[in-house]
Chains A and B, each alone.
Chain A
Amino acid sequence: GEDVEQSLFLSVREGDSSVINCTYTDSSSTYLYWYKQEPGAGLQLLTYIFSNMDMKQDQRLTVLLNKKDKHLSLRIADTQTGDSAIYFCAEEEFYFGSGTKLNVKP
């Protein structure tokens, strides 16, 4: 469970959808999380998904989980400039990815 990988950067225009991807290695993980970190701040939990689910939707956020490929994604609909931040996926509370910096252009 130590290798959680994410792409480093994503740039989108305001109003578009953003999709942030993550791959993980530990198939025994029960929960997978998405966190948001704004400059100079701690991490804020956005959403999570149980390992026995394929999809979870929460307002503008949609999480997709492909257990076979150990692939997790976060889709943000109607992305706003306030969504600009670094997004981390995490296996349980133990292993975090390096983060994807989302830049939203007006």
Chain B
Amino acid sequence: EAGVAQSPRYKIIEKRQSVAFWCNPISGHATLYWYQQILGQGPKLLIQFQNNGVVDDSQLPKDRFSAERLKGVDSTLKIQPAKLEDSAVYLCASSSRGGSTGELFFGEGSRLTVL
């Protein structure tokens, strides 16, 4: 079974530029999560999708971050315009069951450096 795929693995941009990250979850997984992991910290949940609907985006900085999950499969996370403090690893995870009963499977992450 293929795992959670993310791209690009690495991205370097200058502040005020835009960037997009892509995630392909495990086939059949209805729930998809995006996390931001700043160096030395644990992952912070940005947004949770159930199929193509948003369940929780309370910690997503909506003035600059946006995310979508078209057709309930792949998802993209966009940052526009980027700030220095957005430098982090962006992790995507998926689960067959939402809420607390499903194991999360994480991708390897997309490392963003904002100069």
Q: Which chain A residues have a beta carbon within 8 Å of chain B's beta carbons?
A: 4, 30-31, 40-45, 88, 90, 92-99
Q: Which residues of B contact A95 (CB under 8 A)?
A: 45
Q: Please list 22 pairs of residues, one from A and one from B, whose beta carbons are closer than 8 Å in the complex, sorted by A's number.
A: A4-B42, A30-B100, A31-B100, A40-B108, A41-B108, A42-B93, A42-B106, A42-B109, A43-B43, A43-B91, A43-B93, A45-B103, A45-B104, A88-B42, A88-B43, A93-B48, A93-B93, A93-B95, A93-B100, A98-B40, A98-B42, A99-B42
Known: A30-B100, A93-B33, A93-B100. A44 touches B42 (CB 8 A): no
Which secondary structure dominates chain A's binding surface?
Answer: loop
For the complex, give the distance between the alpha carbons of A43 and B105 in Å. 8
For the complex, give the distance between the alpha carbons of A43 and B95 in Å. 13
Q: Which chain B residues have a beta carbon within 8 Å of chain A's beta carbons?
A: 4, 33, 40-45, 48, 56, 91, 93, 95, 99-101, 103-109
Which secondary structure dominates chain B's binding surface?
Answer: mixed
For the complex, give the distance between the alpha carbons of A106 and B4 in Å. 33
For the complex, give the distance between the alpha carbons of A92 and B42 in Å. 14
| Cβ-defined contact, B91 with A42, below 8 A | yes
